[in-house]
Structure 1
């Protein structure tokens, strides 16, 4: 019996980690370019095109404004179209990614805006193109903040992945609902919460350590 329970928790934890890190990777892949566009198109940016920046900002904020549980349900047809099913761990990556992309984009935008304008102007004065400034100055200088932003995104995704268990997404949230809540097994729910807390702490500590090392190297 104990072996079966351990296997349940082990598989659920792996499913949660798969959802969280796959969604985070997609969020960085799409969210970082989006953050760069938001930064360079703002007034005073490298490529100040106010209409583009404004439209992107509105789209990002509208997506962020939708509560995840509602977005999860609304995206069921789209998830089914993309993945062939709306159930399971792989299917949950779709709504998790869509909610994480604008979230990470806004956090990354803040880090990118903190890069010294004087440094950017100096590099531009030496003849660097806008693309060169983005690749060689903007992103590298903002890297510690970007790592911190990714850490916050990962922590948020851990909580969201548990919420996705409501629609059968698998992972620890699904385990808590099916074996804990529906069977009135309080001990099972407490174990799930404990594992989620440990995962959150480990991710936060790891992210803080990497960010601190990067900041130290930049000083």
Structure 2
């Protein structure tokens, strides 16, 4: 048994390591950019809702429609649909660099919805108390909305990361690199079944680990 494992690692160890690093790069960079876009969008969705501090029906409806449209498109279709846009932005549509744009376009609206849901859970009475004291909206957003919903935000981001990992795996269809690309090129096209099984196991371990971490930090933040 050990001989088979050693033989497999000798043959595929380097490729597995490179693909794992590429997956972390895709997920990490895409997540950072998506949070920078999605969190403000989620806050704006909450603040511009009817009856909220910056109530604006036009802005809210436009954001709501755009986010719904993007979220309704399956990632694999979105990936091919915006290939020209991706190439225009980053100069290529393949490799790790080439899948960052579609991953961000796919994930940012999703994070915006998760943030909106988390922020709407904050007790309205707490917000009204701060408003009655004359606290400015920007301070209420950071010190009340975000602070009170930290646990839900962490859980939401955990869900987003896991979805992002799945999307990054699908990016292998366009030569995006990562574990998905390795599984597709060798596990599927070249019938290297062992490679397929190992990549699936690695993805399962990665998802389980991230979910456990997310649950742990969410529980800690809820107690604070």
SS of 1:86's partner is: coil
Structure 1 residue ranges, 4+ long, deviating more than 6 angstroms after superposition: none
- Which deviates the most, 190-199 or 42-51? 42-51
Query: Is 1:186 aligned with 2:193?
Result: yes
Shift of 1:4: 4.1
Distance 2:200 2:16 in 1: 12
Distance 2:209 2:194 in 1: 23
Mapping 1:129-148, distance limit 5 Å: 129-148=136-155
Aligned to 2:38: 31
Distance 2:202 2:10 in 1: 17
Distance 1:125 1:156 in 2: 40
**Counterpart among 148, 160, 173 of residue 167 in structure 2:** 160
Mapping 1:32-51, distance limit 5 Å: 32-51=39-58
Structure 1 unpaired stretches of 5+:
none
Deviations 1:41-71 (A, max 9, x none): 1112111111111110000000000110010
* TM-score, length of structure 1 as denominator length: 0.97
Distance 2:51 2:30 in 1: 32
**Counterpart among 72, 84, 87 of residue 91 in structure 2:** 84
Distance 1:21 1:149 in 2: 16
Query: Is 1:196 aligned with 2:203?
Result: yes
SS of 1:45's partner is: coil
Aligned to 1:106: 113
**Counterpart among 4, 9, 15 of residue 8 in structure 1:** 15
Matched residue count: 217
Distance 1:62 1:204 in 2: 28
Aligned to 2:124: 117
Aligned to 2:182: 175
What root-mean-square deviation, in Å, do the aligned CA atoms of Structure 1 and Structure 2 show? 0.9
